[in-house]
């Protein structure tokens, strides 16, 4: 399926076609209860862990390409064994997915 989507997007389809494709994905997602439970990750900065400390190495921004918001391009993360629990949209970094719960901006380690 991804290859078909890539081929379609490489053709630079008209905005009306892109809008229809988004509508189709929205309908398909609304029918799948697994997608409705996903939590959106919207990271603000990139970090590396060195010597037990986090160091900020850059800013995380979306690509601002509407086509990158298609669910087939989401990075899905599973905190449980069998099902995805979170996702990150590389297209908008979660800004255009207000229908999903957002992960907290700050996560504190239990030892703090």
Alpha-carbon span 34 to 28, nearest angstrom: 11
* Residue 58 Rama label (left phi>0; alpha psi -120 to 50; beta): left
Mean pLDDT in order along the chain per 10 residues (112 residues): 66 74 75 78 78 79 72 80 82 80 66 51
- The reported pLDDT for the residue numbered 9 is 66
- The reported pLDDT for the residue numbered 93 is 80
Question: H helices within 1-112, ranges in order?
Answer: 2-10, 15-30, 33-36
Query: Domain map of the chain by residue range?
Result: 2-102
Is the overall model pTM greater than 0.85, yes or no?
no
- The reported pLDDT for the residue numbered 68 is 72
């Amino acid at each position: 399926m991804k290859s078909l989507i890539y081929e379609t997007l490489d053709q630079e389809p008209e905005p009306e076609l892109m809008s229809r494709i988004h509508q189709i994905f929205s309908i398909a997602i609304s029918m799948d209860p697994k997608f409705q439970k996903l939590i959106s990750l919207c990271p603000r900065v990139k970090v590396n862990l060195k010597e037990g400390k986090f160091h900020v190495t850059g800013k995380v921004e979306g690509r601002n390409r509407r086509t990158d918001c298609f669910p087939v391009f989401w990075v899905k993360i599973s905190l449980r064994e069998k099902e995805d629990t979170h996702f990150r949209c590389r297209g908008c970094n979660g800004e255009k997915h207000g229908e999903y719960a957002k992960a907290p901006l700050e996560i504190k380690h239990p030892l703090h």
